[in-house]
Structure 1
């Protein structure tokens, strides 16, 4: 009896240690998240307490001149630039990623998983500065020679971002396709459907919420990218009229200007407001992903 108690007590102690450690980690995570949100929100909201600055003018204004007299804080060009490059990147990367996932899981799973999947994983590990440098050295001259303009602009930024988010979309799509029940495909084949009919009539509609989750996560990844976009987009604070004109994004203007401002100045507060917009959009993307995940489980 005593031997059994000696065996049971260490297990109970280990269980309590594990529970306490887990609770501490969760508490630290929650405190960190709320601290970051509070810090960015308090810094960003301070801009709207300045004279002649309000939220509507900040979100819809077209002129960005923080050091002007009087200063102008119009963030609409940066918001448009961020959404345009991110959505265009997703439109380019989503078909490529989903087709690559179909190839790896349905058409040639052996070759796809042996050769294509390691290449895609390698793309995910390349630093963003490398993507930006390649885009500046290869893509921008190509666009300059083929299309009107200087080569830098939304098109170059979207193409660079599409390669960067391709691993995210492909990986999530491949996991969704691989996790699909074999009974659905076997039933389709039993009814006389071909492989392509099974793919676009059974597999793709069934896994659509999960595929859209990968696309939304890719857009979120592109929306928050700074360095690679900054190198090829031109960083001009205006709304472009074509895909081959330079513009700027929320992340690029923050990284370019934050180090040149004084803490507490109107310019610095305006940059924190841009960061608040960026963080808010990230939360929106997270909520969309959670909604899509619930749809996929229904």
Structure 2
């Protein structure tokens, strides 16, 4: 009787485990199928430009002139690629020191005050819509640059400054988690050897968590690389390589969003825009591989 009771009691658990496994496998299959479907859809459209429309791959990647309506049509995406990389990298250079300093302050210097006041404010930035950042940049940053520097205020500098504020929560949050997860024995050993707090931070804490900090920078660059609306509002959207930070240019996302709705499906121009989307997707994969490589080099 006791064994029969135990078997009946175990049956619901076996059923729940079986249902959980099936549900998990279905979710994984759906996720994998969605990713492969997106890759196939974008790649099939983007590669049509080269294999169906006769556009040269080298011409698309290195050409500096974009004139899809000309006779003949010219598709040079280098200005868009240059604009995306320049704004993203410059934004990371601006926000990375701020994010690292904020993380060190919240974890090592004033954790009680920082976690209570500073961290909620930084995390609040992540919830603000992109259009708000773009509107603030167009209303505040662009007029400020117009008054101080030559030009109209639109350009890489304005776009990078807007993006730096947008990616600051990503870099700060990852840096904070990395510093907070550092084993306390490392810092205690440093203090026991007579090191000051700043010596411990600069020679023990930051070098040990460097892979995680670089991961935050790469994720921030990936976030900035794929941003469209905020950058589109302040960068000027001119398809040429600028000679200064205060000249108008364009990005891959801006070129796609501005022109995709005005082109006929299946046309050469439309396929070229899908090729730009394919470049964006490939860059996203590269950023993911870099992040995985940095995680594998973590010293913690």
Alignment of 1:85-234 (within 5 A): 85-234=87-236
Equivalent residue number for residue 54 of structure 1: 56
Name stretches of at least 5 consecutive residues in structure 2 with no aligned partner.
none
Matched, 1:75 2:77: yes
Alignment of 1:13-52 (within 5 A): 13-50=15-52, 52=54
Matched, 1:293 2:295: yes
Partner Cα separation in structure 2 for residue 94 and residue 193 of structure 1: 26
The number of equivalent residue pairs is 298
Partner Cα separation in structure 1 for residue 195 and residue 146 of structure 2: 47
Task: Could you list the structure 1 runs, at least 4 aligned residues long, displaced by more than 6 angstroms after superposition.
Answer: none
More displaced 10-residue stretch of structure 1: 43-52 or 18-27 = 43-52
Contact 2:208–2:299, Cα closer than 8 Å, also in 1 = no
Alignment deviations for residues 11-52 of structure 1 (CA, whole Å, 9 cap, x no partner): 111100000000000001111000000000000000012455
Aligned-residue Cα RMSD (Å) equals 0.8
Deviation of 1:67 (Å): 1.2
Partner Cα separation in structure 2 for residue 36 and residue 296 of structure 1: 31
2:298 match: secondary structure: helix
- After TM superposition, the score normalised by the length of structure 2 is 0.98
Partner Cα separation in structure 2 for residue 273 and residue 7 of structure 1: 58
Partner Cα separation in structure 2 for residue 50 and residue 78 of structure 1: 23
Name stretches of at least 5 consecutive residues in structure 1 with no aligned partner.
none
Equivalent residue number for residue 7 of structure 1: 9
